[in-house]
């Protein structure tokens, strides 16, 4: 019979292996694609990292970047950019690489979906 201590060690080793795999699979330093935004309907709801969504904050959702990562998002149509902090997961729509808060979207002059470049800082 395997002791609880041995099971705990096996679990920690497995968790570490998963962490290394996830870290190695983070996206390249820059991405291009579609950006969308989400706003008032999500105000106050919990984001994937547990904090409350604030439509007025410069935050964003990304599928794989670690929470807390700061990225520069540049609207390729007008050259305007904003620095945002990743605090949520998404978008889950093909061709989109990031979901911005309403404030972040306004800062780069987008009102719907826009083509952007995302650079990790």
Q: Which CATH number fits domain 28-120: 2.40.40.10, 3.30.9.10, 2.40.30.10, 3.40.50.300?
A: 2.40.40.10
| 10 φ/ψ angles, rounded to the nearest 5 degrees | -60, -40
pLDDT in tens, the chain (121 residues): 555 555 445 555 454 444 433 444 455 579 999 999 998 899 999 999 999 999 999 999 999 999 999 999 999 999 999 999 999 999 999 999 999 999 999 999 999 999 999 999 9
Q: Are 109 and 79 in contact (CB under 8 A)?
A: no
Which tokens belong to 16?
């570490």
By CB atoms closer than 10 A (0-12, 13-18, 19+), residue 60 is buried
Strand partners, 65: none
Q: In angstroms, rounded to a whole number, what is the distance separating the alpha carbons of residues 121 and 109? A: 21
């Amino acid at each position: 019979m395997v002791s609880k201590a041995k099971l705990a060690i096996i679990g920690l080793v497995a968790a570490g292996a998963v962490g290394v795999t996830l870290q190695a699979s983070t996206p390249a330093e820059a991405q291009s694609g579609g950006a969308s935004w989400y706003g008032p309907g999500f105000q106050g709801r919990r984001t994937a990292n547990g904090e409350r969504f604030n439509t007025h904050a410069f935050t964003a959702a990304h599928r794989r970047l670690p929470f807390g990562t700061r990225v520069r998002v540049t609207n390729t149509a007008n050259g305007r950019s904003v620095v945002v902090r990743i605090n949520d997961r998404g978008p889950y729509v093909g061709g989109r690489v990031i979901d911005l808060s309403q404030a972040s979207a306004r800062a780069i002059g987008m009102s719907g979906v826009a083509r952007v470049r995302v650079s990790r800082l």
